[in-house]
Amino acid sequence: MNISTVLQSSPLQSNVLQSSQRAFPIGAPILELESISLRFGGVKALTDISFNVLEHEVRAIIGPNGAGKSSMLNVINGVYVPQEGTISLRGERLAGMTPTAAANLGISRTFQNIALFKGMSVLANIMAGRALRAHATFLEVALQLPRARREETESREAAEEIIEFLEIEHIRKTPVSRLPYGLQKRVELGRALAAEPKILLLDEPMAGMNIEEKQDMCRFILDVNDHYGTTMVLIEHDMGVVMDISDRVVVLDYGKKIGDGTPDEVRANQDVIDAYLGVAH
Amino acid sequence: MLSNKILRRGWSGVAAAVAMWATAAMSTSAMVQQPEQYFPVASMRVGPYNAMGTGIFGGVIDYLNYVNIKHGGVNGVKLVYEECETEYNAARSVECYQRLLNRGDQKMLLWDPYGTPLAYAVIGRVASDNVVLAQAGYGRTDAADGRVWPWVFGATANYWSQIAMKLNYIQQKEGGIDKMKGKTIVHLHIDTAYGREPLPAMRQIAKDWGFNLIEIPIAPPGLEQQSQWLQIRQAKADWVTFWGAGAGMSGTAITTAARIGFPRNKIIFVTFGGAEEDMIAGGAQATDTNVVAMVLPGKQWPLIADIEKVLYSDGAGKGNMQNPTRVGTIYYNRGVIAAVNYVEALRNAQKIHNKVGKPVNGAEFRDGYEALDYTIEARRKELGIDGMLPPYKLTCRNHEGAGTFHMMRWDGAKFEIVTKDWMGANDPKMIRQLIEDSAEKYAKENNITLRDCPN
Amino acid sequence: MFDISFFIEVLVGGLLSGIMYSLVALGFVLIYKASSVFNFAQGSMVFFAVLTFVGVMEKGLPFWAALPVAVGVMVLVGMATERFVLRPLVSQSEDTLLMATIGLSFVIEGVAQLVWGVDVRNLDLGIRDEPIGWVLDSTGMLISQLDITAGIVASVMVASLALLFSRTKVGRGLRAVADDHTAALSIGIPLKQIWMLVWATAGVVALVAGMLWGARSGVQFALVWVALKALPVLIIGGFTSVPGVIVAGLLVGASEKIVEVYIGPKFGGGVEVWFPYVLAVLFLLVRPEGLFGERIIRRV
Amino acid sequence: MFYREAGQFRTSYAQDSQILPLRQDRVGMAVLLMAAALVPFVANAYWLSAILIPWLILSLVALGQNILMGYAGQLSLGSAGFMAVGAFACYNFILRVPGIPFIVAVILSGICAALVGIAFGLPSLRIRGLYLAVATLASQFFIVWSLDKFAWFKNYDPAGVITAQKIMILGHDFASPREKYWVVLVIVLVLTLLAKNMARGSVGRGWMAVRDMDVAAEVTGLSLLRTKLQAFAISSFYCGVGGALFAFAYLQTVEPSAFTIELSFRILFMVIIGGLGTIMGSFLGAGFILLMPIFLNVFFHTVFGKSVDASIASALEQIIFGVMIITFLIYEPLGLARLWQLTKERLRLWPFRH
């Protein structure tokens, strides 16, 4: 692969992201990772990685395949528990994270290979994303007591708003299993948003998409960030579009951090270029 | 071979069907309708008890047809039947009961499902439906008390009499009740209500005679009895009263007994699971096993011989048995006798309610059944069943009748009778007392007023 | 006081029963390994196989002639099952396939009774099933020739199956199939043939199990339930492991007997109905994939 | 022509998410309920007590099984065991709590079953799929065994059989098949409605989320523990109530061993044939599995009469039953409910092809 093609700026490079004109200006660090190390048996997936995420920013983690990006994400929302290192949310140290706990802290995510609820419609999937917002007990639901009805209507409204936002009204009641790949990715984004997260982790949101789909997805990511002020942490393995939409980028290679900074800084980073050109270490 | 075996059956079936329709059509058009009396047949022809079901109900159906062919029915009343498959499943049998309850304008007279769980499943309904529950040698024991259970009959003997008879046989072998003290008898039973049915009587006798009773259950289907028989060996049991169901359990019991070297002639099988099929399943090891019979097997009885002649001989093809060689086996003969009871009861009912030559209803049939009387030798001879079953009569109070059995020994190919005469409990009064106490207790709990019986 | 010799008796008896369970369980593993089908009809196949064998002998064929006939019939049954039940259901969920095999069991049982009637038969393998005198005298152990035969047969079958899986081309194919059907297809593994072969083999395994069980319990309908005894063996051993089945069989056999004999009487007996299953559950809580089962990987 | 949604607009989400959005469906359902309520006036005792009552009861049990299997995706083979708990609990409540209203007893027995269900549901947190299925057999065997062993459950009846007491509601004895039918009908309808509400609400979404993708479900903040156990509890509750009715409104005299593993399998079939994850499927499936053998039995006896050897007929019945199940799984894996849906969609377009 030719370095120039990787690093060239894509047509989408419209620097909408001048902090000045953002609805939610980038703020203090919301998430801090201190020298994280993760091992599977003998295999080192992540070694001594530290970086932070600022509130309202779009933070990208990039790196070639097998760089440990997904592991990083799984550490953040508690699917994996690192052997060393600490994660802190708003300066508060988190111990013994589980996905559920993460969800409760307002961390929501999408998956690299789509993990939608196949048997359910788009609407149901997105409403299911609001599990945390449903407090009515099964009895209240069974008997359709006021609280249950109210919550149901609320989450329906919230879901509809997201559906509108993502421009998927036409497939509202289609079972997700019948949707094309691109749309499924979008629905999954919708489900993640339904939880009204503070931090949204996107695991290769554009993987396997054609250029139009990618551009759509970029637009949604930016709009979400702009509209809800959601802090975004997204993974991509090809630098292309990511560079344009993210405020800051962490570059991983073989489980180590080899670069961190604004897209331009990263672009200029020799290690990064080597990594992407596959120069032998 | 196989294929054309099926084919042949199939074809014969179709042919017969056509023939039947033809004749049916003709008869209806030709002669004036003959009065009919309808009997239900709640058979089990598939599943674990298929061997028993086909035998028993084959016998029942054969006798009904035999009476029609040989005597033109009962005083001219043609016997007809409807069959329903229960698979020995209580729920299904209730459906069958309800389904067969009415046939055209006739209501069924009796119910004889041939399974203790199946009898229990309907015992609460028969009275209100005016249906006789004829649990011939199975079912709820204390229903032998006619004062509490007017509609339930347990001829010729119930499970408590049966266990008492076995113990009586054992004490005779051991040389007297006084010799029983300190002996160990294991009651090896299927782990269901039926398996536990005889225990009240058995415990009582154990207490009275001072022998040591060990109860060991086998979980159905009981294809694996290693642990049970090892316990028996450990207990150094002198006798085992085996109370199982299904050829699989019986066969396994015998082979496992052989594996631990327990003498087969110290095992006594229950009537319900004590037929040729059960012995065959046990193979060579089954030789010498004791089995209790309330109806004797064999073709030497005039009735059985004649049925075979009329329905089977030289391809008459009127018999119900898929395998004609099973005519005369334990189950078959028991089925025949069950049907003999139906027919005799019907005959009595017609006489008592002077409806000779006419169909009777449930209440009338009940009276007829209660009037069953096999004490007259002439009548037994006439029926061709003399010696096949014990002489007995039912009374208002006593719905059990004989309470006696014969002990048989499996010689490897067939049963041979070892008891000289019909044998019952050592102390029949005591058993009867137990039964009536239990029945009265039930009556009290369910505030049933006892029917006052002259005898 | 504790009677050690009796304990050993129980233990040995249990192990011997365990072998009989393993024989049945083998059929399940074989099919599950190849087509990830939990073949509930295995019990019915056991019944049908031995019934056919005995039935053919009744027709006058000698033992050694009846054997190949029965094998042939079982191969046909296996192939028919593959063709008419599994192939149309390929790519269905495991639950659906399980259902289908329960349906299949109805069919097989029905056919068995249709073709061979309901007569109870006895199978005499000419192997005495009574304690061998000198063993009893010398060691006090109750072991019959049939027990020994069962042991030998089981180990032979396990060995040959192990070989089949590890050495032969088919076996390697099998493993690939088990891992991923489509992939197996794409690299040109003749799926249909393999499945047919597997089902046929399972039929033969069923026949062997059926003959030993039939010799002990008589050839009659209740044989279809030997499967129930095999299930806990399966989950403990792991659906996919041939050696696991043997180990688990012995484990279940021994433990259930010991529990039945020593603890059962305190509760009025019959404990061995559920004990193996509870044991299996406790076991799975520690090792969800069974003793030797392949690990279940949770992908994210 | 008459089955159209044209011209029916929903102006609020509440309206859109009601159980039967289509007017025609609402009318149809109303007619159906009417018929169900009035059928005792036309049906004879056989139809009521041998067909309709068991059908309703087994539908309820199938519904319970469906909640666990169809919605929450936990394959279980123990439903008959939970029925047994319900049946014997109900017997004991009425026996030992003088004057307890029947309905209360039934609900309590459902709760007992639910508690047992939770206990046996615990393994599901660690065990999956077929392993879990086989594991659930433990409940089946253990429950029946303990009911069989501890005579207290059967009030020390020598034979270990219980005779269900009268169904007394507000001092009235519901003895006749007709009255029993109504009692069953009401209970089943109410519980069905509740199930429907749960299934289409947040509770149902939780179950299905766990079923479809448990990792993702966790990430949305669902607790697998609570969701799975909840499904087990509610499922067992339905089975328990079903069992109580099975004993009191249908069999009347029961022993524990009546709740065999075969019964569990039949219930499993009902769910599969009827349609996983559908309420209506539970009813259709129960009808099919209950009525098909009866139909075949009647069919063979009426058509072939006594001419075909009854043993052959019975065997054929078994074969046909098995073949039908397999055929079903092959041609309509989504079950009868799906067929019903398709016909409705056809009806929508009728008389036009597309």
Report the amino acid identity of residue D127. I
| Strand D168-169 relative to strand D172-173, pairing | antiparallel
pLDDT band at A3 (very low <50, low <70, confident <90, very high): very low
Asked if A160's CB is within 8 angstroms of D13's CB, the reply is: yes
B188 neighbors B218 (Cβ within 8 angstroms): yes
pLDDT band at A202 (very low <50, low <70, confident <90, very high): very high
At A24 the pLDDT is: 85
C-alpha B448: how far from chain center: 28
pLDDT band at C299 (very low <50, low <70, confident <90, very high): very low
C178 neighbors C34 (Cβ within 8 angstroms): yes
pLDDT band at C30 (very low <50, low <70, confident <90, very high): confident
Return the structure tokens found at A234.
Answer: 């997204």
What is d(CA C63, CA B450) in angstroms, rounded to the nearest whole number? 63
**Each residue's pLDDT tens digit, C251-263:** 999 999 999 999 9
Residue C300 CB-half CA count within 13 A: 20
At A12 the pLDDT is: 43
Residue D15 pLDDT more than 80? no
At A150 the pLDDT is: 93
Mutate to test the interface with C, among B85, B224, B320, B325 (most CBs of C within 10 A): B224
What is d(CA D328, CA C89) in angstroms, rounded to the nearest whole number? 11
Asked if A102's CB is within 8 angstroms of D212's CB, the reply is: no
What is d(CA D277, CA D270) in angstroms, rounded to the nearest whole number? 12
Q: Classify A67 as helix, strand or coil.
A: coil
Give C212-278 as a DSSP string: HHHHHH-BSGGGGGHHHHHHHHHHHH-TT-HHHHHHHHHHHHHHHHHHHHHTGGGGTS-GGGTHHHH
Return the structure tokens found at D102.
Answer: 């029947």
- Cβ neighbours of B9 in D, within 8 Å: 309, 312
What is d(CA B349, CA B371) in angstroms, rounded to the nearest whole number? 8
A interface residues, C as partner, C-beta within 8 Å = 70, 74, 79, 111, 115
The domain total for chain B is: 2
What residue segments make up the domains of chain A, in order of their start?
3-15+24-106+197-277, 119-184
Asked if B204 and B133 sit in the same domain, the reply is no
Asked if B89's CB is within 8 angstroms of D301's CB, the reply is: no
At B31 the pLDDT is: 52
- Cβ neighbours of D253 in B, within 8 Å: 120-124
Say whether residue D230 is in contact with chain A using an 8 A CB cutoff. yes
**Each residue's pLDDT tens digit, B76-117:** 999 999 999 998 988 899 999 999 999 888 999 999 999 988
Say whether residue C192 is in contact with chain B using an 8 A CB cutoff. no
Asked if B303 and B372 sit in the same domain, the reply is yes
What is d(CA C43, CA C39) in angstroms, rounded to the nearest whole number? 9
C257 neighbors C11 (Cβ within 8 angstroms): yes
Say whether residue D19 is in contact with chain A using an 8 A CB cutoff. no
Return the structure tokens found at C9.
Answer: 């008796």
Asked if the structure places residue B29 within a domain, the reply is no
Q: How many other C-beta atoms lie within 10 A of the C-beta of residue C38?
A: 22
Residue of C nearest to A73 (CA): C300
At C1 the pLDDT is: 59
Q: Classify C118 as helix, strand or coil.
A: coil
Do the chains D and B touch each other, judged by at least 3 C-beta pairs below 8 angstroms?
A: yes
Asked if A99's CB is within 8 angstroms of D215's CB, the reply is: yes
What is d(CA A59, CA D343) in angstroms, rounded to the nearest whole number? 51
Asked if B181 and B301 sit in the same domain, the reply is no
* For residue D351, cis peptide bond before it (omega within 30 degrees of 0): yes
The domain A3-15+24-106+197-277 having CATH identifier 3.40.50.300: the answer here is: yes
Tell me the sheet residues that pair with B393: B373
Q: Classify C38 as helix, strand or coil.
A: coil
Do the chains A and B touch each other, judged by at least 3 C-beta pairs below 8 angstroms?
A: no
**Region of B448 on the Ramachandran plot (φ > 0 left; ψ -120 to 50 alpha; else beta):** beta
Tell me the sheet residues that pair with B134: B153
The full 3-state SS of chain B, as one line of letters, equals CHHHHHHHHHHHHHHHHHHHHHHHHHHHHHCCCCCEEEEEEEECCCCCCHHHHHHHHHHHHHHHHHHHHHHCCECCEEEEEEEEECCCCHHHHHHHHHHHHEECCEECCEECCCCHHHHHHHHCCHHHHCCEEECCCCCCHHHHECCCCCCEECCCCCHHHHHHHHHHHHHHHHCCHHHHCCCEEEEEEECCHHHHCCHHHHHHHHHHHCCEEEEEEECCCCCCCHHHHHHHHHCCCCEEEEECCCHHHHHHHHHHHHHCCCCHHHEEECCCCCCHHHHHHHHHHHCCCEEEECCCCCCCCHHHHHHHHHHHHHHCCCCCCCCHHHCCCHHHHHHHHHHHHHHHHHHHHHHHCCCCCCCCCHHHHHHHHHCCECCCHHHHHHHCCECCECCCECCCCECCCCCCEEEEEECCCCEEECCCCCECCCCHHHHHHHHHHHHHHHHHHCCCCCCCCCC
Asked if B277 and B411 sit in the same domain, the reply is yes
Asked if C217's CB is within 8 angstroms of B223's CB, the reply is: yes
> What's the gap in Å between the CA of D86 and the closest CA on chain C?
20
At B310 the pLDDT is: 93
At A51 the pLDDT is: 92
Residue D10 CB-half CA count within 13 A: 13
Instruction: Please provide the average confidence, as pLDDT, over all residues in chain D.
Output: 88
Lowest mean pLDDT among A39-43, C48-52, D105-109: A39-43
> What's the gap in Å between the CA of D7 and the closest CA on chain B?
48
- Among candidates D294, D301, D308 on the partner chain, residue whose Cβ is nearest the Cβ of B13: D308
| Strand A199-203 relative to strand A231-236, pairing | parallel
Say whether residue B22 is in contact with chain D using an 8 A CB cutoff. no
Tell me the sheet residues that pair with A92: A89
Return the structure tokens found at B251.
Answer: 């066969």
- Cβ neighbours of B256 in C, within 8 Å: 216
Report the amino acid identity of residue D9. F
**Each residue's pLDDT tens digit, C49-73:** 999 999 999 988 998 899 999 999 9
Q: What crossing angle do the helices spanning C42-58 and C63-81 adopt, rounded to 10°? A: 140
**Region of D150 on the Ramachandran plot (φ > 0 left; ψ -120 to 50 alpha; else beta):** beta
Residue D266 pLDDT more than 50? yes
Lowest mean pLDDT among B344-353, C93-102, C262-271, D301-310: D301-310
Asked if D194's CB is within 8 angstroms of A99's CB, the reply is: no
Asked if B176 and B243 sit in the same domain, the reply is yes
At B79 the pLDDT is: 95
Residue D181 pLDDT more than 90? yes
10-residue block means of pLDDT along chain B (455 residues)? 45 50 48 83 88 93 95 94 90 92 90 92 91 92 92 92 96 94 95 89 95 93 91 94 93 93 95 92 93 94 95 84 92 96 96 94 95 94 94 93 94 94 94 93 88 84
Residue of C nearest to A70 (CA): C300
D72 neighbors D226 (Cβ within 8 angstroms): no
Q: How many other C-beta atoms lie within 10 A of the C-beta of residue A235?
A: 25
Question: Which of the other chains make 3 or more beta carbon contacts under 8 angstroms with chain D?
Answer: A, B, C
- Among candidates D46, D161, D307 on the partner chain, residue whose Cβ is nearest the Cβ of B101: D46
Asked if B364 and B421 sit in the same domain, the reply is no
Asked if C281's CB is within 8 angstroms of D145's CB, the reply is: no
What is d(CA B199, CA B186) in angstroms, rounded to the nearest whole number? 11
What is d(CA C85, CA D323) in angstroms, rounded to the nearest whole number? 10
Asked if A149's CB is within 8 angstroms of D208's CB, the reply is: no
> What's the gap in Å between the CA of D126 and the closest CA on chain C?
6
What is d(CA C174, CA C298) in angstroms, rounded to the nearest whole number? 23
Asked if B282's CB is within 8 angstroms of C218's CB, the reply is: yes
**Each residue's pLDDT tens digit, A165-180:** 999 999 988 999 899 9
Percentage above 90 pLDDT, chain D: 46
At A17 the pLDDT is: 46
Give D161-213 as a DSSP string: -EE----EETTEE--SHHHHHHHHHHHHHHHHHHHHHHHHSHHHHHHHHHHH-
Q: The domain spanning residue B46 has which CATH number?
A: 3.40.50.2300
C-alpha B319: how far from chain center: 20
Phi and psi angles of residue C286, each rounded to the nearest 5 degrees, phi first: -85, -45
Residue of B nearest to C18 (CA): B224
Beta strands in chain D (DSSP E): 162-163, 168-169, 172-173, 253-254
Q: Classify D253 as helix, strand or coil.
A: strand
Asked if the structure places residue B434 within a domain, the reply is no
- Cβ neighbours of A155 in D, within 8 Å: 202
Asked if the structure places residue B266 within a domain, the reply is yes
Lowest mean pLDDT among A65-74, A104-113, A245-254, D205-214: A65-74
- Among candidates C102, C107, C277 on the partner chain, residue whose Cβ is nearest the Cβ of D137: C277
Asked if C117's CB is within 8 angstroms of B217's CB, the reply is: no
Residue A2 pLDDT more than 50? no
- Report the run of H or E that residue D78 belongs to, with start and end: none
C128 neighbors C147 (Cβ within 8 angstroms): no
Say whether residue C119 is in contact with chain B using an 8 A CB cutoff. yes
D66 neighbors D281 (Cβ within 8 angstroms): yes
Asked if B44 and B95 sit in the same domain, the reply is yes
- Cβ neighbours of C300 in A, within 8 Å: 70, 74, 79, 111, 115
Report C:215-234 residues touching B (Cβ under 8 A): 215-223, 225-226, 229
Phi and psi angles of residue B241, each rounded to the nearest 5 degrees, phi first: -95, 110
pLDDT band at A10 (very low <50, low <70, confident <90, very high): very low
How confident is the model over C218-237, as a mean pLDDT? 88
Asked if the structure places residue B13 within a domain, the reply is no
How confident is the model over D312-322, as a mean pLDDT? 87
Residue B233's domain spans which residues? 160-293+407-425
Whether the complex's predicted ipTM is more than 0.90 is answered with no
Residue A46 pLDDT more than 50? yes
Asked if B308 and B268 sit in the same domain, the reply is no
**Region of A215 on the Ramachandran plot (φ > 0 left; ψ -120 to 50 alpha; else beta):** alpha
- Cβ neighbours of A104 in D, within 8 Å: 221
Which is nearest to B167 in space by CA: B415, B437, B429, B423? B423
Asked if the structure places residue B7 within a domain, the reply is no
DSSP letter (8 states) at residue D153: G
